[in-house]
């Protein structure tokens, strides 16, 4: 179980720049990351699903009471002067344990999208990091008063949510010693190897990255192995246009 919190809300807008309010960015991102995590089987709780103000103490108390496994707080940064700084950082109570790993993975994933990587910082004084009893992270997804960060934030909005959710899921898989989860597009499952071979041959002839996976008595013909579900869906659409009956699987 994981808890997501979009910081500020209600009468507390957080940072404000050119009519842009931090609380709105935080809320939309937290909901989208939560949606992706839920789709991947994570039980997600939100500290707020409406535009109401909840104090950091209350958020920490809610998380402790619900006994969640992780606490993740969404913020956007702000510098004293406009366009003074840019980049992403993740704050943790101290640089230990899985929260530190997860924080580093999130910074790295956002860095891949083009954000400057400020890195992971220990901030033991922050209420939501100090008062929570579970691993807790506070993500500063770029500076709200940086035009450069805002441009990236808006252009890559969907990718940002994917990157954060992917880093969270990847860290959990690592912790459990599991291989990362890949989405594969299955076009057929046959008892006779020669039928699978025939489908494989036709797919490969059309340039698809197809292969056969033997699973018990079945020969499964699959195409691709994608970390991002979106990419598997795109491949599935292409295959369907080519007349294949498809199924997205994870094994």
Residue 223 pairs with which residues in a beta bridge?
185, 210
Of the candidate spans 5-13, 100-108, 125-133, 145-153, the one that interacts with Zn ion by CB under 5 A turns out to be 5-13
Site string for Zn ion, 18-57 (x = CB under 5 A): ----------------------------------------
Binding flag, residue 14, Zn ion (CB under 5 A): yes
Dihedral Cα 223, 224, 229, 234, nearest 10 deg? -70
Of the candidate spans 73-81, 105-113, 118-126, 160-168, the one that interacts with Zn ion by CB under 5 A turns out to be 73-81
Of the candidate spans 75-83, 123-131, 150-158, 190-198, the one that interacts with Zn ion by CB under 5 A turns out to be 75-83
Of the candidate spans 68-76, 118-126, 216-224, 236-244, the one that interacts with Zn ion by CB under 5 A turns out to be 68-76
Nearest residue to 228 (alpha-carbon basis) of 170, 188, 148: 170
Query: Is 14 or 56 the residue whose CB approaches Zn ion more closely?
Result: 14
Q: Tell me the site size for Zn ion, rule CB under 5 A.
A: 3
Distance CA 47, CA 131 (A): 15
Distance linking the first and last C-alpha atoms of the chain: 24
Distance CA 179, CA 174 (A): 7
- What is the smallest separation between the CB atom of 138 and Zn ion, expressed in angstroms? 8
Distance CA 71, CA 135 (A): 6
Nearest residue to 123 (alpha-carbon basis) of 150, 151, 101, 94: 94
- What is the smallest separation between the CB atom of 23 and Zn ion, expressed in angstroms? 8
Q: Footprint of Zn ion on this chain (CB under 5 A)?
A: 7, 14, 75
């Amino acid at each position: 179980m994981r808890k997501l919190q979009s910081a500020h809300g209600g009468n507390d807008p957080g940072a404000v720049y050119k009519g842009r309010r931090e609380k709105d960015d935080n809320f939309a991102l937290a909901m989208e990351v939560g949606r992706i995590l839920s789709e991947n089987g994570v039980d997600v709780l939100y500290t707020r699903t409406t535009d109401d103000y909840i104090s950091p103490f209350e958020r920490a108390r809610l998380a402790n009471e619900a006994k969640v496994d992780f606490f993740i707080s969404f913020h956007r940064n702000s510098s004293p002067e406009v366009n003074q700084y840019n980049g992403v950082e993740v704050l943790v109570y101290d640089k230990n344990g899985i929260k530190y790993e997860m924080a580093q993975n999130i910074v790295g994933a956002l860095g891949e999208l083009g954000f400057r990587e400020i890195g992971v910082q220990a901030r033991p004084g922050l209420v939501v990091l100090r008062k929570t009893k579970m691993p807790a992270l506070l993500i500063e997804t770029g500076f709200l008063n940086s035009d450069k960060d805002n441009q990236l934030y808006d252009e890559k909005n969907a990718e940002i949510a994917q990157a954060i959710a992917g880093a969270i899921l990847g860290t959990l898989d690592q912790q459990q010693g599991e291989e990362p989860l890949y989405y594969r597009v299955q076009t057929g499952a046959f008892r006779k190897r020669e039928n699978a071979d025939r489908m494989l041959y036709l797919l490969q002839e059309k340039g698809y990255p197809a292969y056969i996976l033997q699973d018990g008595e079945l020969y499964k013909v699959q195409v691709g192995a994608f970390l991002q579900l979106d990419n598997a869906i795109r491949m599935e659409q292409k295959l369907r246009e080519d007349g294949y009956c498809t199924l997205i699987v994870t094994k």
